[in-house]
Structure 1
Amino acid sequence: MRSFSLLTWLLLAPALAPMRAEAAPPPEAAAAASRVVIVEADADDPLVREAATRLRAELGAAGFEVVRVPRARRGDAHDARDALERAAQDEGAFAAAAIFRSRAGATADLWIVDRVTQKTVVRTVEVSGAAAPSVMAVRAVELLQASLLEANLLSTRAPPEGAAGGERVAVPDDVRRWMAPVRRQAGADPAAARAGMLAGVGVEAGLVALLSADGIGPALGPALRLSYGAGAGGGGGALPAGLAARLTFAGPALGPALEGVLGTVSVRQEMALLEAVWALETGTAVSPVLSAGLGGFHLFISGDPLPPLRSATGEVWSIAATFGGGAGLRLTERAALLLDAHAIFAEPRAVVTLGGERLGTAGRPTFAGYLGLLVRL
């Protein structure tokens, strides 16, 4: 049992490793965070100052390094644009933002300069109400994301004629990740196709329970499965989507001894099967699984009769056909819990007798239930 637990942990570790890596990013990733500049305009205005503070929090929560740059004086629109572009370039930032109170006082102008698309965009928002600073911060983030949506279109074009700075920067990886949900929502990026549950190479370890329809069992033993299937991002290109080939090794399965008038008989069962498996994608965490296969079935007996009969052993090798169905529950993108049941028909059938007394048969049919942890490698 200890060795089986160790095998299960070794199989699960590769599937959980990406989760641990995402939950605790290495220090190098944090150090390489992209920069955003916030130019502090109208610093004496409490509303603008609060909105800028919330904007820093929004961008910092997204994982960016936020740099504050004071603006010495108010100028016209051209001065504001130049100040933002110059601050972004000096700090090596991919974007710069500023919030200006309008002359009327009832509105504020949100300015965004991003060096990815070399665009300057402005939005005017109302500043009335207690929620005004939060609204301005959220609108500024939305404005930056809207501007960055054009990055994929401009990546193959020359910089816009007359654009200040003259140098378009590549889209940083963390900016690309931050923009991914926005791009998918806008239809700029299709959602990444999810790999099938049985896609690529998979290893499944678990337990098998066997029960004959005529007296043998129940019996319990280990099971190991190796699969290779098709599915998005999972290889298996020679197979139709959702279909997999699987090798199943089950046993030795041991159960209670069979009792007769003349004594008892211990039974051991093993199987090796080659199956075709189809996992139906439902778009949810649960997928129905159907299978059919052929292989070998082995039954070994050891008799312990009453005197004067002598102990003896025997075995039967049979060709087996199996049909099954069940379901898989995704635990992560690479790990799933599978539960399925099978009917196994063997030829020749195995008949257990003791002193001429028939104690049971196997394979006409024998029912098998599997519970296992599948890990895609």
Structure 2
Amino acid sequence: MRPYPLLTCLLLALALPPARAEAAPPAPPQEAAPAASRVAIVEADADDPLVREAATRLRAELGAAGFEVVSVPRARDADARPRDGDARAALERAARDEGAFAAAAIFRSRAGATADLWIVDRVTQKTVVRTVEVAGAAAPSVMAVRAVELLQASLLEANLLTSRPPPGGGAAGSVAVPDDVRRWMAPVRRQAAADPAAERPGMLAGIGVEAGLAALQSTGGIGPALGPALRLSYGGGAAGGGVLPAGLAARLTFAGPTLAPALGDARALGTVSVRQEMALLEAVWALETGGAVSPVLSAGVGGFHLFISGDPLPPLRSATGEVWSVAAALGAGAGLRVTERAALLLDAHAIFAEPRAVVTLGGERLGSAGRPTFAGFLGLLVRL
């Protein structure tokens, strides 16, 4: 064997730089995902299959929303349907002990045919309760969905989800809004903001003043008569108080004096001039449709006044007379929103008066009013 090939390989091996094994740089540590917010569900009555199934479905609903759901057993000696103060205290304690932003429980009502959904959320420090029917095969699912809606309504009403409260600036016991809760509530906030009727006060909410025209026409032949009309109203709703429900209002209506064409034949017996006034105290209901136009219904009682002045031909002599009557009225119409504080109202009323006013001249009957008299109102309502 010739030594030259072997010597060449050795020289090449010495000339090459030695390979150095270097450790690969360590991979950056992955940031841990934030823990899901907790919701505590207090086990109210494990012996009731309906309540048990509803609680299971509620856990599934909240789990699907991305929350961590923990079950909190109740004390064995606790009543199946505790007093309101006890239920609230138990929920608040469960949420605090578990570090949950909210706690929920489902209790069978005393009536048996309904269940009470209890929600305590530590973000708004509110306790809300809703009673739902438990009849039918879908009752557990309905209760679970209603409980989720109740929690969302509680969080939405406080309007705290638009900005995180400053550290240390919240009330004692309150918690900052977790990011996953904020994301969960985002579609609900957008839907509420897109609904123009969600925060808009009712058409008759608060104190309102309406001025316009009134037209009267009696089936007994008196009219048509035109005159001014003034209305004062107070209604419940976002701009009203808690005295009346939303959409319902009390209203005072004053109409007159209205002037109608003279009755009679100027060439036979003469003529009679007629003047009418009316005042009503009404209950008014405006159905909010979410649009610009809302139906309006009303019913009321009050007084009706008819005054006549005769201008007869001789040998008859001029005379005046008046009739005061108790009146009842039923009305229907519609309101058109012009602005948030102004609306045009158009409605018609049927008015029944007792005693009925009858106009005669020289023993001849010329007309009557109030059996019934139809009244039309057109006015501009301004909420103060």
Using the size of structure 1 for normalisation, the TM-score is 0.52
Task: Show the counterpart of 1:218.
Answer: 224
The verdict on how the C-alpha distance between 1:151 and 1:349 changes in structure 2, with shifts beyond 3 A counting, is: closer
Residue 286 of structure 2, aligned match among 264, 271, 279: 279
Matched, 1:259 2:264: yes
What whole-Å deviation, never above 9, does each CA across 1:341-375 have from its counterpart, x for those lacking one?
A: 00000000000000100000000000000000000
Instruction: Give 1:155's match in structure 2, choosing from 143, 151, 165.
Output: 165
Given candidates 211, 214, 236, the residue that maps to 1:205 is: 211
Partner residue in 1 for 2:188? 187
- Structure of greater relative contact order (alpha carbons < 8 Å, 6+ residues apart): 1
1:308 to 287, 310, 315: 315
Q: Give 1:184 deviation, angstroms.
A: 9.2
1:297 equivalent to 2:307? Answer: no
> Matched residues, percent identical?
79
Equivalent in the alignment of 2:360: 353
AA matched with 1:343? A
> Quick one: structure 1 residues 248 and 151, their matched pair in 2 at CA, closer, same or farther if it must change by over 3 Å?
closer
Q: Give me the whole-angstrom Cα distance separating, in 1, the residues matched to 2:228 and 2:185.
A: 44
Return the match for 2:240 from 227, 232, 235: 235
Q: Hey, what's the Cα distance between the residues in 2 that align with 1:315 and 1:365? A: 18
SS in structure 2 of the partner of residue 364 of structure 1: coil
Q: Which amino acid aligns with 2:260?
A: G
Computed over aligned residues only, the root mean square deviation of the Cα atoms, in angstroms, reads 2.4
d(CA) in 2 for partners of 1:316, 1:372? 27
Amino acid aligned to 1:209: A
The question of whether the paired residues in 2 share the 8 Å contact of 1:228 and 1:236 is answered with no
Alignment of 1:109-188 (within 5 A): 152-157=162-167, 186-188=187-189
| Partner residue of 1:322 out of 329, 344, 352 | 329
How big is each residue's C-alpha offset from its partner over 1:48-105, in whole Å with a ceiling of 9 and x where there is no partner?
xxxxxxxxxxxxxxxxxxxxxxxxxxxxxxxxxxxxxxxxxxxxxxxxxxxxxxxxxx
Note closer, same or farther for the CA distance 1:353–1:204 as it changes in structure 2 (3 Å cut). same
* Distance in structure 1 (CA, Å) of the matches to 2:184 and 2:259: 56
Report deviation, 1:242. 0.4
TM superposition score normalised by structure 2: 0.51
Secondary structure in structure 2 of the residue aligned to 1:154: coil
CA distance in 2, matches of 1:337, 1:239: 22
Contact 1:242 1:278 in 2 (8 A): yes
Structure 1 equivalent of residue 383 of structure 2: 376
| Equivalence for 1:144 | none
Task: Name which one, 1 or 2, has greater alpha-carbon Rg.
Answer: 2
Aligned equivalents of 1:250, 1:318: Cα separation in 2: 15
**1:187 aligns to what SS in structure 2?**
helix
Q: Which runs of 5+ in 2 are unaligned?
A: 1-159, 170-182
